[in-house]
Amino acid sequence: MATTRAKSGKLSDSTARNNVEAPVTDDLNQPPPVDAQTTVARDGEASILEGLNAHGKKKRGSASMNQGDNIVDLDPEDVYSLADLKDSLSARREKARGERIRPRGEPYYTNETCNLIIDQQNCLKFGRPNKEFLNWRWKPDECELPLFDAVQFLELVRGKSLALLGDSVGKNQMHSLLCLLTKVAYPEDLSDRYYTDTSYFKRYFYPDYNFTMGTLWAPFLVKSIESDSNGYSPNSQMNLYLDEPNEGWLNDVEKFDYVIVSAGQWFFRPTMLHENGSLIGCSTCKYDNLTTFTPYYAYRKAFRTVFRTLLGLENYKGVTFLRTFSPSHFENGAWNEGGNCVRTRPFAREELKVDQYIWDMHSPQVEEFRVFEELGKKRGLEFKLMDTTEAMLMRPDGHPNFYGHSPHRNMTLADCVHWCLPGPIDVWNEFLLYFLRTQQSSLDGKTIEV
């Protein structure tokens, strides 16, 4: 059944990439205005409780949701205080720490063995001379991450479905997974059967395993509409409706058994922010008569809306993964000021200098995740954290830079946001397989050595 394209679907993948990096300025790194802080869920239970109750009441009567009574109200007693999360969040973040090692063996695939790599990430095809970036693999500090096993993955997802909900970096992960699975099977592309716009929404099917995989395009996660009076440009203004999920994914998400939610760089463009049907202010903007919010405020609210919506959908029974913020590595200038990413080796941990904005993006999404992870337990829904931020911070060598091509891409702009295939992003699917193995082990009552 065909569905409509996301409200932001007028923007091409190449546009997403050209728009990807915010200049790290003082404006972006300021905290939200004082009158906004109580709605950023930094004051604990009261603020998020207010938001959950307001949202539950609105959804029941909102015609734009196209779901009606399928959305379940949240019980105020279920709310888990954010104030109680601080210590556990710090402790859990440590588990994502690790270092790079040089592994043995060849990459899982190449551009010659996998014909599903899109040109935007096909760095070897377009002449990247240095291949050392293929020789490094993430090693978590506290465990040994197993290599990807395509046979095992397809057996674990037999009869199931996986959606990647978000922007073009999420599609980047999907193409990595498609290539990782080619050692066993190639999929059928059924996108035309389901969607009118197959540039943004994809659907693949593995008939021998009855496994479906696809993307749900929603770069802001929430409802978004172009609003720039000067027309579209790589940095034009958007309207964001922070408490309304994007219908492009809302209409399909209940069909999937696993949903990986991610978003990032789009939130740095100029946005007009709406909540409860009213304009509340703007982000990355210069309007004297409007309250100015940081991108982190909108980012937090967008993830809250996604998780709250998934938790409230009566027919959604899937496992929800949060894949955390994927950092860019522009050096020698911003994305639109000559910035590039020419490094050929990973950072060592002692070399790493992290811009504050990266943690300002990482923390809100993880904090919101932890709240709904607890709520999900009471509803019988699983929420899993795929914290890949530090692993990717250490990989400035893994981006296409100028070795990715697209008919719509401005080739004077380097791509230091997406990831070469094969490349560092393949580790995300190693994490995914690890989670699937662990989940199956729990269901079977067995222990799997990893």
Of 55, 274, 362, 418, the catalytic one is 418
Distance CA 246, CA 269 (A): 18
d(CA 205, CA 188): 5
DSSP state of 233: -
| Dihedral sign from CA coordinates of 389, 269, 86, 432 | negative
Asked if 163 and 214 count as a contact pair (C-beta separation under 8 A), the reply is yes
Which among 8, 14, 161, 168 is annotated as catalytic? Answer: 168
Number of other residues whose CB lies within 10 A of the CB of residue 62: 16
* 201: Cα separation from own chain's centroid: 15
The CA-based angle 118-119-124, given to 5 degrees, is: 110
Angle (nearest 5°) at CA 164 between 51 and 11: 85
CA distance 194 to 190: 7
Token output for 442: 């729990």
User: Is 21 in contact with 335 (CB distance < 8 Å)?
Assistant: yes
Q: Which one is catalytic: 13, 252, 387, 415?
A: 415
Q: Report the amino acid identity of residue 384.
A: K
How far is it, in rounded angstroms, from Cα 410 to Cα 414? Answer: 9
Best CA proximity match to 11, nearest among 211, 171, 225: 225
329 is catalytic: no
For the record, the structure tokens of 153 come out as: 């993955």
Is 176 annotated as catalytic? no
Which residues share a beta bridge with 165?
216, 261
Pair of tokens at residue 164: 């990647």
Kindly state the DSSP code that residue 174 receives in the 8-state scheme: H
User: Which residues, 6 or more positions from 289, have their beta carbon under 8 angstroms from its beta carbon?
Assistant: none
Report cis status (omega within 30 of 0) of the bond before 234: no
Q: Of 429, 398, 403, 336, nearest to 120 (Cα)?
A: 403
Report how far apart, in Å, the C-alpha atoms of 60 and of each of 233, 242, 313 are.
Answer: 36, 17, 11
The residues carrying an active-site annotation are 168, 415, 418
